[in-house]
Amino acid sequence: MSPIRERSQYFARHASVHGVGNEGLEKLRNARVVVVGCGGVGSAAADYLARSGIGYLRLIDQDIVDVSNLHRLHGASVGDVYQPKAEVIANTLSRNMPWLKVQAIVDTVRGATAEDLLGGVDLIVDGLDNFRTRYVLNNYSIRARVPYLFTSAIANQGHAALFQPPNNACLECIFPSLVSSPNESCESLGVTSSVVTTIGAIAANEAVKFLLGQTSRLAGSLLTLDLDGPDFIFSTLSK
């Protein structure tokens, strides 16, 4: 069976969803998305983006897989410990979906490398755990006018928002000059596999909606997800 035929069979149920169809599946095949940060949220987002039929994924992460990451990492298993996260996840995705073009970059995005690492994509998905790099993504997004899907997760809570410069608020409008504190990291407060997977899946779903030209409630508002409720809270964002 040809890979093209396998692809259409693989995504048959996805294509049947209202608003997707074969036309939507074709749009997604031509879409290019970068996922920056391949921890819990980023790996879940990459997994669901690939499972939604995105044709090209670029995965960027400088870190290696640690045993303490495994409970929440999609696409990594015990045998992958000490291997670069981006490469491990890229290999898993291309093994399961041979039609997917996936590129792994073991690096950190900095101001000087943003153009090289983030160029040529339709959307930036943030799977990061620090605001220093998030501001680099935000600046690039404003400069290049590439939409930026912000996410974060800690303990049993998560956030997501879609920034579409110059139309709506950006990351610095809502979180000006934040410094990631070690007291509020996954190491100190922990993080559940449920929250990273939920936020990653929401990010992938919103990315797909954006790429299909559909409207998203995350454009112009910040979603706070608290799985302790569970509660879904939307805050309207202004520039």
| CB-based contact 103:117 (threshold 8 Å) | no
β-bridge mates for residue 123, sequence order: 33
Stretch that binds Zn ion, among 21-29, 52-60, 168-176, 199-207 (CB under 5 A): 168-176
Strands 148-154 and 123-126: parallel
Least distance (Å) from Zn ion to the CB of residue 169?
6
CA dist., res. 87 & res. 154, Å (int) = 24
Number of H helices, E strands in the chain: 10, 8
Least distance (Å) from Zn ion to the CB of residue 210?
19
Instruction: Confirm or reject binding of residue 170 to Zn ion (CB under 5 A).
Output: yes
Which lies closer to Zn ion via its Cβ, residue 90 or residue 128? 128
Which lies closer to Zn ion via its Cβ, residue 107 or residue 172? 172
Least distance (Å) from Zn ion to the CB of residue 25?
34
CA dist., res. 42 & res. 48, Å (int) = 10
Which lies closer to Zn ion via its Cβ, residue 2 or residue 238? 238
CA dist., res. 238 & res. 169, Å (int) = 5
Instruction: Confirm or reject binding of residue 222 to Zn ion (CB under 5 A).
Output: no
Instruction: Confirm or reject binding of residue 173 to Zn ion (CB under 5 A).
Output: yes
Instruction: Confirm or reject binding of residue 189 to Zn ion (CB under 5 A).
Output: no
- Residues making contact with Zn ion (CB under 5 A): 170, 172-173
